[in-house]
Every structure is written in C-alpha cells, then in structure tokens.
Amino acid sequence: MKTNPLFPFFVSTAVLLLMASRRDDDFVEDFQEINTEVVKNSRAYETLREATSTIGHRLTGSTNGAKAEAYSFNLLKKYGYLDVKYQPFEVEAWMRDTVTLEIVPNKSDNFRSVPVVALAHSPVQARVNGPIIDVGNGLQEDFEAVKDKIKGKIALVNIGLTNPKPGQKNLHRSEKTALAIKYGATAIITVNQIPNNVLLTGTASVTGALISIPAVNISKESGEEIRSWVKVDTDLHAIIDMHNISRKVKARNVIATLKGKSDDRIVVGGHLDSWDLATGASDNGLGSFTIMDIARAFKALKIKPKRTIDFVLFMGEEQGLLGSRHVVKEYIKAKQLDRVKYMMNLDMTNNVYGMGVGGRDEMIPFFKAVGEQIKKVDGGFANAVSSRAGLHSDHQPFMIEGIPTGAPAARHDPKVFGCYHADCDRFDLIKRDEMLNGVRFTAMLLFALANADELPAKKMSSEQTRDFLIAQGLKTELIIGKDWKWGE
C-alpha cells in the first residue's frame, strides 16, 4: 500500500481545525463523558440507602450526626480526595425529650390530648397554660390584627398559607415565632398543612439560639379540630408541657477540594444534617449524597477544572444555617471570599430539569446556553431557568455577602414535600432514576460553572447586595431573622 507523504500534514491540520472549531464554552463532549460515567457507575442511591439504614437520622450534635460526618469523610477519601478535611465548629445543639399538648375548656377538667412535636430551640423546660387565639396564617398583618388581644395568650398559626391574597408571601416558622414573641404570646402552636396526621418539626429560632416561649407543631387534622372547638368555646385553653436538652457540642463540616487551574472557586454545597424524627432521606440526603457522587465522578474522569471546586457538606443547617455561616466566616478569615465566584446549593435536589439563578438574572443566558448543550446529550432535559431569591438554606450566608448563588431546579413526588422534617422522610421515598438525573444534570451544570471562560454574575458590593435583597423582597424577613446588616 502506498503512503501519501502529505498524510501526516493532512492529519495534523485536521486535528488543528477540529480543535479550532470547538469553542472554549462548548461542553457537549464533556457532558457526554459525565453522563456515561454517572449512568454506569453512580453510587448516590446506594450510599444513601446504606447511610439511612446504618446511621439513621443525622441530627447535628448527636452521635448519629458524628457518624454521618465520618461516613462522608471516609467516602470522599475512598473516591480519591486525599486532602478531604473536617472543618469543626462549636454549636448549641438542641435535642427533644418530652412534650404534651392538652386542650381544655377554662375551669374544666375535660382534657383533650393532642398529638404534638416540639419545634427546635424551644426552651429546655416550659409549662404554659393559657387561652388560645387564632392568628390565621401568622403573617405580620395577622398579628397586627390581634395585637390588642394576643398578649399573654397562646398563638395558633398555620405553617403555610390558607386562602392567600394575590401575591402574598409566606414566612418561615421561625419568623412567625419571632412575631409571636414580639407581640407578647406565651407560646405558639403551628398547624401543618399536609393531610394524614403528619407532624412537622424544624427550628423555631431565627438565630439558632434558644427562644423564650415553647413552640410546637400539630397536624392539619388536629388544627381543624381545635379551630372547631374555639368556635364553640371562646375561652378554650391549651396546656403545653415540655422538656428538651440543649448543650454545646462540636460539629464538623466536611470539605473535599478538586484543585483547578486557578484559585478562583466554585462552591457546591448542601447540608448533611437532618432532623431526628426519621432518617432525612430526602432532606437532605438527596442533596448531600448527590454532591458526593458528583465528586466521585469528577475524580474518576480525572477532571482538571479551570476553577477550583469545593465540595462542601454542611452540618447545622436545620438548626440555623450554622455550618454554612461558619464556612463563610472561614473564607473571610482566610481572605478567600472574593475568590468564590459562585455558590451552587443542593437542598432536596432530585430529578433535575433546569436551574434557578437566585435572582441573578444576568446568569439566565449562561444557563440557557448550557442547557441547550445538555439537551444534545439528553433531549429529556427541560432546560427551564427561573430567577427568584429565597432564604433559609445554605446559600443564604453566601448571598448576603454578595456572592452569586443558584440551585438546580428539582422535581418531587408530592409525598416527598409532605414528609420533609417529618417521621415519614425515609428511604422508600427515593427513586433511583430520579436521583440519577439529579447527579448527572447537576454535574454538567457544575462543570460549566467551573470551566466557562467568564461567569456573567460577579460578587456585589455591600451596597449592591443591600439593594438586591430589597428588590427581591427579602428585607423584612432578614430583619425578623436578625440577618439584616444595613440598618433600617
């Protein structure tokens, strides 16, 4: 066979042309490799199943919480992150002990016991006996409407919104509790909105410190019963008796770093901790075990990103964003916060179909373009991009420092949302194919963030951040939560 003497020239020229034709922001080939690796080798579902069955819940400050920290640390080591580290911090850990709720007509012995759970950061010891006052949805205007009657009484409020006005925005349970304290209530009974007698826990403190009044949750059905009783007996009383445990403990964030070509960083984080009524399979086993599997895939593919990636598993999110607040403080202390170019938060991330840009509209074209490339790998990716900033997850400490934040858009079976923070948040809610979609699509979005030539959203100044938070309608919530640092 005759060889053309110009063949090496043609080959090298073709390679150069191919390389030249592929733009720096063309990630389709990379996405295909990520997709193949995750579909073939993902361990997210399996490791979450193992952790929920062998550890159980992951309450910060508990023995189980420490086991979960060690499990994640060792798993990331196994995946090849030899420099994975613990980041310890001290936290005021709250743990439930006993609580009862009895409803009784005034000056009567006809007690009616109601199933109840304590909300976190309620007092260590409390016994309150007082008349019930219905404060509806528990918003500022609802408390204002009863401000002359609520002092010394027990507030009954909805966790969600019933019959909301157009555009009306809900408050977090901790913010409703803060308003109850402000208006002089002696306790607060929150009513779940999920049917089938589901009891919901969570923190009632905006700061992570103990609150001054007992806060509890009852089911939707119990709330309806009490409200029907109040209509008949306007002097109905509630007796709340509780004992809890609060003490200083050490908790540990777990951080694995994939070194990039620069010290600029992308933080991808989610909370490892969970509440103690169940195993926290969806909240936030979905997010934290997805993060660990993305870290595994990137290591397996020997990815060397342009920007360094910090894979962070936060503890203490459920008790007041304690771990993520500590991470931000450590970045500031090390003079590295300006190096953080984006924070992607995974909280109950599942069956990903797009991206939420957290109010930073300048990121919409970027993620739309990335999504179009993902669709070339899997046409089922919806590429929906939304923009709205919110609070009460681990992106918040980054956002109020001006860091651009976002979260993959996730789909859930309604049962999952009904069971978050509840005794039904167990592994049987999790579907492997949906969790796999969370891993592979989030991995592609993260790869794009870490390798794009430029990211449209930049860190904002303090004044720009203040104006952004006001424009997003978050000022009132941040003031109630004592996280507003710009004055009235």
97 within some domain: no
Report in angstroms the alpha-carbon separations of 9 from 5, 12, 14, 15, 163.
Answer: 8, 5, 8, 10, 73
Work out how many domains the chain is built from and give that number: 2
Q: Give the residue from 234, 269, 298 where a domain finishes.
A: 234
Residues in the chain: 488
State whether 228 and 258 are in the same domain: no
- pTM, 2 dp: 0.91
pLDDT band at 398 (very low <50, low <70, confident <90, very high): very high
Q: What percent of the chain has pLDDT over 70?
A: 94
Q: What is the mean pLDDT of residues 286-313?
A: 98
Which string of DSSP letters, residue by residue, matches 163-208? Answer: SPPTT-----HHHHHHHHHHTT-SEEEEE--STTT--B--B--SSS
Q: What is the mean pLDDT of residues 63-80?
A: 98
354 within some domain: yes
Q: How far is CA 470 from the centre of its chain?
A: 22
Q: What percent of the chain has pLDDT over 90?
A: 89
State whether 64 and 182 are in the same domain: no
State whether 42 and 112 are in the same domain: no
Q: Give the residue from 234, 268, 291 where a domain finishes.
A: 234
Q: How confident is the model over 78-102, as pLDDT tens digits? A: 999 999 999 999 988 899 999 999 9
pLDDT band at 106 (very low <50, low <70, confident <90, very high): low
Q: What pLDDT score does 488 carry?
A: 78
State whether 333 and 442 are in the same domain: yes
Range of the domain at 151: 107-234
320 within some domain: yes
Handedness of CA 466, 467, 470, 472 (dihedral sign): negative
Q: What is the mean pLDDT of residues 63-92?
A: 96
Q: How far is CA 485 from the centre of its chain?
A: 22
pLDDT band at 46 (very low <50, low <70, confident <90, very high): very high
State whether 318 and 441 are in the same domain: yes
Q: What is the mean pLDDT of residues 254-267?
A: 98
283 within some domain: yes
34 within some domain: yes
Q: What pLDDT score does 108 carry?
A: 59
Q: What pLDDT score does 19 carry?
A: 36
Q: Give the residue from 234, 268, 302 where a domain finishes.
A: 234
125 within some domain: yes
Which pair of tokens denotes residue 383?
Answer: 């590429």
Q: What is the mean pLDDT of residues 201-216?
A: 95
State whether 305 and 453 are in the same domain: yes
156 within some domain: yes
471 within some domain: no
State whether 228 and 257 are in the same domain: no
Q: How confident is the model over 434-467, as pLDDT tens digits? A: 999 999 999 999 999 999 999 999 999 999 999 9
* Predicted confidence (pLDDT) at residue 14 exceeds the cutoff of 50: no
